[in-house]
Protein backbone atom coordinates (compact mmCIF):
# COMPACT_ATOMS: atom_id res chain seq x y z
CA UNK A 1 0.00 0.00 0.00
CA UNK A 2 1.32 3.42 -0.92
CA UNK A 3 0.60 6.77 0.72
CA UNK A 4 -1.24 9.42 -1.29
CA UNK A 5 0.75 12.26 -2.79
CA UNK A 6 -0.32 15.62 -1.41
CA UNK A 7 -1.43 17.76 -4.34
CA UNK A 8 -1.96 21.08 -2.61
CA UNK A 9 0.07 24.27 -2.90
CA UNK A 10 2.09 23.50 0.23
CA UNK A 11 5.68 22.33 -0.15
CA UNK A 12 4.85 19.46 2.19
CA UNK A 13 4.29 16.04 0.69
CA UNK A 14 3.66 12.45 1.62
CA UNK A 15 6.70 10.22 1.55
CA UNK A 16 5.75 7.20 -0.52
CA UNK A 17 6.27 4.28 1.83
CA UNK A 18 5.14 0.73 1.05
CA UNK A 19 3.03 -0.67 3.88
CA UNK A 20 4.08 -4.00 5.35
CA UNK A 21 0.47 -5.02 5.85
CA UNK A 22 -2.69 -5.24 3.81
CA UNK A 23 -4.88 -2.25 4.85
CA UNK A 24 -7.76 -4.62 5.34
CA UNK A 25 -5.80 -6.78 7.76
CA UNK A 26 -4.97 -4.78 10.86
CA UNK A 27 -2.23 -6.37 13.00
CA UNK A 28 -2.95 -7.05 16.65
CA UNK A 29 0.47 -5.98 17.90
CA UNK A 30 3.01 -3.21 17.32
CA UNK A 31 6.73 -3.59 16.74
CA UNK A 32 9.58 -1.15 16.20
CA UNK A 33 9.49 -1.75 12.43
CA UNK A 34 5.96 -0.29 12.33
CA UNK A 35 7.17 2.82 14.17
CA UNK A 36 10.08 3.20 11.74
CA UNK A 37 7.64 2.86 8.85
CA UNK A 38 5.37 5.48 10.41
CA UNK A 39 8.34 7.81 10.66
CA UNK A 40 9.08 7.40 6.95
CA UNK A 41 5.43 7.88 6.03
CA UNK A 42 5.31 11.11 8.06
CA UNK A 43 7.92 12.83 5.91
CA UNK A 44 7.79 16.59 6.42
CA UNK A 45 4.15 16.63 7.45
CA UNK A 46 4.76 15.79 11.10
CA UNK A 47 6.92 18.35 12.87
CA UNK A 48 10.05 17.36 14.77
CA UNK A 49 9.08 19.24 17.91
CA UNK A 50 11.73 20.93 20.08
CA UNK A 51 13.35 19.32 23.10
CA UNK A 52 14.33 22.14 25.48
CA UNK A 53 16.57 21.92 28.50
CA UNK A 54 14.76 23.65 31.37
CA UNK A 55 16.98 25.51 33.78
CA UNK A 56 13.93 26.41 35.87
CA UNK A 57 12.57 22.90 36.38
CA UNK A 58 16.07 21.49 36.77
CA UNK A 59 16.67 23.97 39.59
CA UNK A 60 13.26 23.41 41.20
CA UNK A 61 13.68 19.63 41.30
CA UNK A 62 17.48 19.32 41.52
CA UNK A 63 17.32 17.12 38.41
CA UNK A 64 18.39 17.50 34.79
CA UNK A 65 15.02 18.23 33.14
CA UNK A 66 14.23 18.56 29.45
CA UNK A 67 10.81 19.41 27.98
CA UNK A 68 9.55 17.76 24.79
CA UNK A 69 7.30 20.54 23.46
CA UNK A 70 4.73 18.46 21.59
CA UNK A 71 2.30 21.28 22.34
CA UNK A 72 3.95 22.94 19.31
CA UNK A 73 3.03 20.05 16.98
CA UNK A 74 0.58 20.63 14.11
CA UNK A 75 -3.00 20.77 15.49
CA UNK A 76 -1.47 21.48 18.90
CA UNK A 77 -0.89 17.91 20.07
CA UNK A 78 0.77 14.55 19.37
CA UNK A 79 -2.47 13.09 18.03
CA UNK A 80 -1.76 14.03 14.42
CA UNK A 81 1.17 11.56 14.44
CA UNK A 82 -1.04 8.53 14.87
CA UNK A 83 -3.92 9.88 12.78
CA UNK A 84 -1.64 10.55 9.83
CA UNK A 85 -0.10 7.09 10.04
CA UNK A 86 -3.48 5.35 10.21
CA UNK A 87 -5.14 7.42 7.49
CA UNK A 88 -2.08 7.59 5.24
CA UNK A 89 -2.22 3.86 4.55
CA UNK A 90 -5.92 3.66 3.65
CA UNK A 91 -5.79 5.11 0.11
CA UNK A 92 -7.97 8.19 0.34
CA UNK A 93 -11.37 6.74 1.28
CA UNK A 94 -13.75 8.36 3.78
CA UNK A 95 -12.87 8.09 7.47
CA UNK A 96 -14.72 8.53 10.73
CA UNK A 97 -13.40 9.12 14.24
CA UNK A 98 -14.50 9.91 17.78
CA UNK A 99 -12.66 12.25 20.10
CA UNK A 100 -12.89 14.75 22.93
CA UNK A 101 -10.82 17.15 20.86
CA UNK A 102 -7.17 16.47 20.08
CA UNK A 103 -7.64 13.24 18.11
CA UNK A 104 -10.47 14.97 16.27
CA UNK A 105 -8.15 17.71 15.06
CA UNK A 106 -5.44 15.23 14.15
CA UNK A 107 -7.86 13.13 12.10
CA UNK A 108 -9.32 16.21 10.41
CA UNK A 109 -5.92 17.49 9.29
CA UNK A 110 -4.57 14.08 8.31
CA UNK A 111 -7.72 13.41 6.29
CA UNK A 112 -7.30 16.77 4.58
CA UNK A 113 -3.72 15.84 3.61
CA UNK A 114 -4.97 12.51 2.22
CA UNK A 115 -7.99 14.08 0.47
CA UNK A 116 -10.24 11.80 2.52
CA UNK A 117 -13.72 12.98 3.60
CA UNK A 118 -13.79 12.96 7.40
CA UNK A 119 -16.62 12.80 9.91
CA UNK A 120 -15.78 13.25 13.57
CA UNK A 121 -18.12 12.50 16.49
CA UNK A 122 -17.37 14.56 19.60
CA UNK A 123 -19.07 14.72 23.02
CA UNK A 124 -21.38 17.66 23.54
CA UNK A 125 -19.05 18.65 26.38
CA UNK A 126 -15.99 18.95 24.12
CA UNK A 127 -14.20 22.32 24.48
CA UNK A 128 -15.49 24.79 21.88
CA UNK A 129 -12.03 25.74 20.54
CA UNK A 130 -11.34 22.06 19.76
CA UNK A 131 -14.72 21.67 18.05
CA UNK A 132 -14.15 24.77 15.94
CA UNK A 133 -10.61 23.78 15.03
CA UNK A 134 -11.75 20.32 13.90
CA UNK A 135 -14.36 21.89 11.66
CA UNK A 136 -11.87 24.43 10.32
CA UNK A 137 -9.54 21.59 9.25
CA UNK A 138 -12.34 20.35 7.01
CA UNK A 139 -14.07 17.59 8.97
CA UNK A 140 -17.81 17.31 9.50
CA UNK A 141 -18.35 17.48 13.26
CA UNK A 142 -21.27 15.75 14.96
CA UNK A 143 -21.84 16.32 18.68
CA UNK A 144 -23.30 13.34 20.53
CA UNK A 145 -23.69 12.38 24.18
CA UNK A 146 -21.75 13.54 27.18
CA UNK A 147 -18.64 11.36 27.04
CA UNK A 148 -16.12 9.72 24.72
CA UNK A 149 -17.68 6.27 25.07
CA UNK A 150 -20.91 7.52 23.48
CA UNK A 151 -19.01 9.28 20.71
CA UNK A 152 -16.99 6.13 19.93
CA UNK A 153 -20.18 4.05 19.72
CA UNK A 154 -21.75 6.56 17.33
CA UNK A 155 -18.63 6.61 15.17
CA UNK A 156 -18.51 2.80 14.98
CA UNK A 157 -22.16 2.70 13.94
CA UNK A 158 -21.47 5.33 11.27
CA UNK A 159 -18.56 3.24 9.97
CA UNK A 160 -20.74 0.12 9.75
CA UNK A 161 -23.50 1.99 7.91
CA UNK A 162 -21.32 3.90 5.45
CA UNK A 163 -18.16 1.84 5.05
CA UNK A 164 -15.96 4.69 6.27
CA UNK A 165 -12.66 3.68 7.84
CA UNK A 166 -12.89 3.96 11.63
CA UNK A 167 -9.88 5.71 13.17
CA UNK A 168 -9.84 4.82 16.86
CA UNK A 169 -8.24 7.42 19.15
CA UNK A 170 -5.85 4.92 20.76
CA UNK A 171 -6.83 1.24 20.43
CA UNK A 172 -5.24 0.75 17.00
CA UNK A 173 -1.76 -0.55 16.13
CA UNK A 174 -1.21 2.09 13.45
CA UNK A 175 -2.26 4.87 15.80
CA UNK A 176 0.16 3.56 18.45
CA UNK A 177 2.96 3.20 15.91
CA UNK A 178 2.42 6.78 14.75
CA UNK A 179 2.55 8.09 18.32
CA UNK A 180 5.76 6.12 18.79
CA UNK A 181 7.55 8.43 16.36
CA UNK A 182 7.75 10.89 19.25
CA UNK A 183 9.95 8.40 21.08
CA UNK A 184 12.28 8.11 18.09
CA UNK A 185 12.71 11.88 18.13
CA UNK A 186 13.62 11.87 21.81
CA UNK A 187 16.29 9.22 21.19
CA UNK A 188 17.77 11.29 18.37
CA UNK A 189 17.58 14.62 20.17
CA UNK A 190 18.97 13.39 23.49
CA UNK A 191 20.72 10.01 23.08
CA UNK A 192 21.75 10.02 26.74
CA UNK A 193 18.13 10.20 27.95
CA UNK A 194 17.73 8.45 31.30
CA UNK A 195 14.00 8.83 32.03
CA UNK A 196 10.97 9.73 29.92
CA UNK A 197 7.71 10.88 31.55
CA UNK A 198 4.58 10.57 29.40
CA UNK A 199 0.92 11.58 29.95
CA UNK A 200 -1.54 8.66 29.75
CA UNK A 201 -5.15 8.63 28.61
CA UNK A 202 -6.04 5.66 26.46
CA UNK A 203 -2.39 4.67 26.45
CA UNK A 204 -1.48 5.01 22.78
CA UNK A 205 1.17 7.67 23.28
CA UNK A 206 2.74 5.90 26.26
CA UNK A 207 2.71 2.50 24.54
CA UNK A 208 4.27 3.72 21.30
CA UNK A 209 6.78 6.02 22.96
CA UNK A 210 7.86 3.37 25.45
CA UNK A 211 8.40 0.82 22.68
CA UNK A 212 10.52 3.29 20.70
CA UNK A 213 12.54 4.39 23.73
CA UNK A 214 13.22 0.91 25.08
CA UNK A 215 14.12 -0.44 21.63
CA UNK A 216 16.98 2.06 21.41
CA UNK A 217 17.72 2.83 25.06
CA UNK A 218 16.95 -0.40 26.95
CA UNK A 219 18.44 0.88 30.22
CA UNK A 220 16.30 4.00 30.31
CA UNK A 221 13.23 4.37 32.52
CA UNK A 222 9.73 5.16 31.20
CA UNK A 223 7.07 6.57 33.52
CA UNK A 224 3.40 7.04 32.64
CA UNK A 225 1.22 9.62 34.40
CA UNK A 226 -2.56 9.25 34.69
CA UNK A 227 -5.06 11.58 36.36
CA UNK A 228 -7.72 10.95 38.99
CA UNK A 229 -10.42 9.73 38.52
CA UNK A 230 -9.64 8.40 35.03
CA UNK A 231 -6.69 6.11 35.85
CA UNK A 232 -6.95 2.63 34.28
CA UNK A 233 -3.42 1.25 33.85
CA UNK A 234 -1.95 2.16 37.26
CA UNK A 235 -4.78 0.37 39.14
CA UNK A 236 -4.03 -2.79 37.15
CA UNK A 237 -0.57 -2.96 38.72
CA UNK A 238 -2.14 -2.91 42.17
CA UNK A 239 -5.11 -5.18 41.54
CA UNK A 240 -4.14 -7.35 38.57
CA UNK A 241 -7.48 -6.46 36.97
CA UNK A 242 -7.69 -4.41 33.75
CA UNK A 243 -11.08 -2.75 33.66
CA UNK A 244 -12.69 0.60 32.79
CA UNK A 245 -12.50 3.36 35.36
CA UNK A 246 -15.68 4.48 37.08
CA UNK A 247 -17.68 7.14 35.27
CA UNK A 248 -17.95 9.06 38.54
CA UNK A 249 -15.97 12.22 39.09
CA UNK A 250 -14.64 14.78 36.64
CA UNK A 251 -11.23 16.14 35.71
CA UNK A 252 -9.89 19.25 34.02
CA UNK A 253 -7.66 16.97 31.94
CA UNK A 254 -10.23 16.32 29.22
CA UNK A 255 -7.54 15.15 26.79
CA UNK A 256 -6.67 12.13 28.96
CA UNK A 257 -10.09 11.56 30.50
CA UNK A 258 -10.25 8.16 28.82
CA UNK A 259 -11.68 5.47 31.07
CA UNK A 260 -11.69 2.41 28.81
CA UNK A 261 -8.34 0.59 28.41
CA UNK A 262 -6.78 -0.78 25.25
CA UNK A 263 -5.56 -4.38 25.27
CA UNK A 264 -2.97 -3.53 22.60
CA UNK A 265 -1.63 -0.54 24.54
CA UNK A 266 -1.81 -2.43 27.82
CA UNK A 267 0.40 -5.24 26.56
CA UNK A 268 3.07 -2.76 25.45
CA UNK A 269 2.78 -0.77 28.68
CA UNK A 270 3.30 -3.87 30.79
CA UNK A 271 6.32 -4.87 28.72
CA UNK A 272 8.08 -1.51 28.41
CA UNK A 273 6.82 0.95 31.06
CA UNK A 274 8.64 0.90 34.40
CA UNK A 275 6.33 3.04 36.55
CA UNK A 276 2.78 4.36 36.49
CA UNK A 277 1.72 7.21 38.80
CA UNK A 278 -1.48 9.21 39.28
CA UNK A 279 -1.87 12.96 39.86
CA UNK A 280 -4.81 15.12 40.94
CA UNK A 281 -6.35 18.16 39.27
CA UNK A 282 -4.99 20.60 41.85
CA UNK A 283 -1.45 19.33 41.26
CA UNK A 284 -1.96 19.64 37.52
CA UNK A 285 -3.24 23.20 37.84
CA UNK A 286 -0.15 24.24 39.79
CA UNK A 287 2.03 22.58 37.14
CA UNK A 288 0.26 24.45 34.34
CA UNK A 289 0.90 27.77 36.06
CA UNK A 290 4.57 26.91 36.53
CA UNK A 291 4.98 25.89 32.89
CA UNK A 292 3.46 29.15 31.71
CA UNK A 293 5.62 31.18 34.04
CA UNK A 294 8.92 29.30 33.78
CA UNK A 295 8.89 27.63 30.35
CA UNK A 296 6.78 30.25 28.53
CA UNK A 297 4.75 27.48 26.88
CA UNK A 298 0.98 27.22 26.65
CA UNK A 299 0.14 23.64 27.61
CA UNK A 300 -3.30 22.18 28.20
CA UNK A 301 -3.98 20.43 31.53
CA UNK A 302 -3.53 16.94 30.06
CA UNK A 303 -0.09 17.90 28.84
CA UNK A 304 0.97 19.14 32.28
CA UNK A 305 0.58 15.93 34.26
CA UNK A 306 4.22 14.91 33.75
CA UNK A 307 5.44 18.12 35.34
CA UNK A 308 2.85 17.67 38.09
CA UNK A 309 4.28 14.22 38.86
CA UNK A 310 7.82 15.58 38.87
CA UNK A 311 7.00 18.54 41.12
CA UNK A 312 5.00 16.38 43.55
CA UNK A 313 7.88 13.96 44.07
CA UNK A 314 6.11 11.04 42.37
CA UNK A 315 9.10 10.31 40.12
CA UNK A 316 11.35 7.79 41.91
CA UNK A 317 14.64 9.17 43.19
CA UNK A 318 16.54 6.46 41.36
CA UNK A 319 15.04 7.39 37.98
CA UNK A 320 18.17 8.40 36.04
CA UNK A 321 18.88 11.82 34.57
CA UNK A 322 18.47 13.40 32.11
CA UNK A 323 14.69 13.41 32.47
CA UNK A 324 12.50 14.16 29.44
CA UNK A 325 8.97 15.33 30.24
CA UNK A 326 6.52 15.15 27.34
CA UNK A 327 4.20 18.17 27.12
CA UNK A 328 1.68 16.36 24.96
CA UNK A 329 -0.69 19.14 23.90
CA UNK A 330 -1.46 22.83 23.99
CA UNK A 331 -5.13 23.11 23.05
CA UNK A 332 -6.73 24.99 25.92
CA UNK A 333 -9.77 27.23 26.09
CA UNK A 334 -8.53 30.71 27.04
CA UNK A 335 -11.42 31.18 29.46
CA UNK A 336 -10.38 27.98 31.24
CA UNK A 337 -6.77 29.08 31.13
CA UNK A 338 -7.57 32.27 33.05
CA UNK A 339 -9.42 30.33 35.74
CA UNK A 340 -6.64 27.76 36.01
CA UNK A 341 -3.91 30.37 36.32
CA UNK A 342 -5.76 32.01 39.18
CA UNK A 343 -6.36 28.64 40.86
CA UNK A 344 -2.73 27.67 40.35
CA UNK A 345 -1.51 30.93 41.83
CA UNK A 346 -3.75 30.40 44.84
CA UNK A 347 -2.48 26.83 45.29
CA UNK A 348 1.12 28.08 45.26
CA UNK A 349 0.37 30.92 47.65
CA UNK A 350 0.75 33.60 44.99
CA UNK A 351 -2.90 34.61 45.27
CA UNK A 352 -4.84 34.75 48.52
CA UNK A 353 -8.42 35.56 49.43
CA UNK A 354 -8.91 36.84 52.98
CA UNK A 355 -12.06 37.47 55.00
CA UNK A 356 -11.79 39.76 58.01
CA UNK A 357 -14.41 40.86 60.52
CA UNK A 358 -13.79 44.32 61.93
CA UNK A 359 -15.66 46.72 64.23
CA UNK A 360 -17.91 49.16 62.37
CA UNK A 361 -15.65 52.10 63.22
CA UNK A 362 -13.82 54.69 61.13
CA UNK A 363 -10.25 53.76 60.09
CA UNK A 364 -10.58 49.98 60.38
CA UNK A 365 -10.52 49.31 56.62
CA UNK A 366 -7.65 51.73 56.21
CA UNK A 367 -5.68 49.78 58.84
CA UNK A 368 -6.22 46.50 56.98
CA UNK A 369 -4.93 48.03 53.77
CA UNK A 370 -2.02 49.51 55.68
CA UNK A 371 -1.02 46.05 56.98
CA UNK A 372 -1.25 44.64 53.46
CA UNK A 373 0.98 47.44 52.18
CA UNK A 374 3.49 47.03 55.00
CA UNK A 375 3.91 43.37 54.05
CA UNK A 376 4.43 44.08 50.36
CA UNK A 377 1.28 42.39 49.06
CA UNK A 378 -0.76 43.82 46.20
CA UNK A 379 -4.51 44.35 46.56
CA UNK A 380 -6.53 42.94 43.65
CA UNK A 381 -10.07 43.35 44.96
CA UNK A 382 -11.92 44.52 48.08
CA UNK A 383 -15.57 43.91 49.06
CA UNK A 384 -17.17 45.63 52.06
CA UNK A 385 -20.30 44.17 53.72
CA UNK A 386 -21.91 46.12 56.58
CA UNK A 387 -25.08 44.11 57.16
CA UNK A 388 -26.58 40.69 56.50
CA UNK A 389 -24.45 37.58 55.90
CA UNK A 390 -25.03 36.51 59.53
CA UNK A 391 -22.83 39.33 60.81
CA UNK A 392 -23.03 40.28 64.50
CA UNK A 393 -24.42 43.76 65.16
CA UNK A 394 -21.73 46.44 64.77
CA UNK A 395 -19.45 44.19 62.69
CA UNK A 396 -18.26 44.72 59.11
CA UNK A 397 -17.02 41.93 56.85
CA UNK A 398 -14.13 42.69 54.51
CA UNK A 399 -13.28 40.29 51.67
CA UNK A 400 -9.92 41.13 50.19
CA UNK A 401 -7.99 39.44 47.37
CA UNK A 402 -4.23 39.99 47.23
CA UNK A 403 -1.24 38.91 45.20
CA UNK A 404 1.75 37.68 47.21
CA UNK A 405 5.24 36.36 46.52
CA UNK A 406 4.42 32.82 47.63
CA UNK A 407 2.95 30.68 50.40
CA UNK A 408 5.43 31.88 53.08
CA UNK A 409 4.67 35.50 52.26
CA UNK A 410 0.91 34.82 52.34
CA UNK A 411 1.24 33.12 55.73
CA UNK A 412 3.06 36.10 57.23
CA UNK A 413 0.32 38.41 55.96
CA UNK A 414 -2.40 36.22 57.46
CA UNK A 415 -0.59 36.17 60.79
CA UNK A 416 -0.27 39.96 60.81
CA UNK A 417 -3.96 40.45 60.11
CA UNK A 418 -4.96 37.82 62.68
CA UNK A 419 -2.93 39.65 65.33
CA UNK A 420 -5.22 42.69 65.11
CA UNK A 421 -8.49 41.46 63.60
CA UNK A 422 -10.87 38.53 63.47
CA UNK A 423 -9.49 36.69 60.44
CA UNK A 424 -12.12 34.25 59.14
CA UNK A 425 -10.22 32.70 56.18
Is pLDDT at 328 greater than 90 in this prediction?
Answer: yes
Cα R_g (the chain), whole angstroms? 25
Residue 352: predicted pLDDT: 83
Contact 201, 102 (CB under 8 A): no
Distances (CA, A) of 168 to 175, 202, 222, 262: 8, 10, 24, 11
CATH node for 349-423 = 3.30.70.260
**Mean pLDDT over each residue of the chain, to the nearest integer:** 89
**What is the tens place of the pLDDT at every residue in 293-323?**
899 999 999 999 999 999 999 999 999 999 9
Q: What is the pLDDT of residue 387?
A: 67
Question: In this predicted structure, what is the pLDDT of residue 388?
Answer: 64
Q: Averaged over 55-67, what is the pLDDT?
A: 97
The CATH class for the domain spanning 51-74+175-344 reads alpha beta
Mean pLDDT, residues 49-69: 97
Q: What is the mean pLDDT of residues 387-416?
A: 83
Instruction: Please tell me the least confidently modeled range out of 72-76, 135-139, 339-343.
Output: 339-343
pLDDT given for residue 13 in this prediction: 31
Cα dihedral across residues 240, 245, 246, 252: positive or negative: positive
When pLDDT is cut at 50, 70 and 90, the band that residue 269 belongs to is very high
At residue 18, does pLDDT exceed 70? no
Q: Which fold has domain 80-173?
A: Rossmann fold (3.40.50)
Q: Residues of CATH 3.40.50.1100 domain(s) within the chain?
A: 51-74+175-344, 80-173
* Better pLDDT: 10 or 259: 259
Per-residue pLDDT, averaged over 107-134, amounts to 92
Q: What is the pLDDT of residue 15?
A: 32
| 259 φ, ψ (degrees, to nearest 5) | -110, 5
**Is the pLDDT assigned to residue 23 strictly greater than 60?**
no
**DSSP bridge pairs for 142:** 121
> Tens digits of per-residue pLDDT, 216-234?
999 999 999 999 999 999 9
What percentage of residues in the chain have a pLDDT greater than 90? 64
Task: Give the residue-averaged pLDDT of 37-41.
Answer: 96
Q: What is the tens place of the pLDDT at every residue in 189-199? A: 999 999 999 99
Question: Is the confidence at residue 424, as pLDDT, over 90?
Answer: no
Share of the chain above pLDDT 70, in %: 93
Average pLDDT over residues 364-373: 89
Cα 286 to Cα 31, 32, 140, 292, 337, distances in angstroms: 37, 36, 36, 10, 12
- Sequence ranges of the chain with CATH classification 3.30.70.260: 349-423
Nearby residues of 239 by Cβ (< 8 Å), 6 or more positions away:
none
Asked if residue 66 lies in contact with residue 53, where contact means CB atoms within 8 angstroms, the answer is yes
Please state the rounded mean pLDDT for residues 13-24: 36
Tell me: the pLDDT tens digits for 76-86?
A: 999 999 999 99
Beta bridge partners of 140: 119
Amino acid sequence: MWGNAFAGKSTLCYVMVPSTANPGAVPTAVDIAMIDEARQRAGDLILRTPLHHSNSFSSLTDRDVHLKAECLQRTGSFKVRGAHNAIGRLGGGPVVAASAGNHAQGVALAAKWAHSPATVFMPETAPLPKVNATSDYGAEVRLVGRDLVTAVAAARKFAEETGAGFIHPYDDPYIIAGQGTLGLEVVEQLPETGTVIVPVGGGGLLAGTALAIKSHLPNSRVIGVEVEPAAIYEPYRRTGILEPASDEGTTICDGIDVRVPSEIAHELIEEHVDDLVVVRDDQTTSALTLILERAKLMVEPSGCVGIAALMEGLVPDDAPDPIVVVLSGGNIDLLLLGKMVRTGMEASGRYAELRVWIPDQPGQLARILEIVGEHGANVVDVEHHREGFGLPFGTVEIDIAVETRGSTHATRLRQALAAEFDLRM
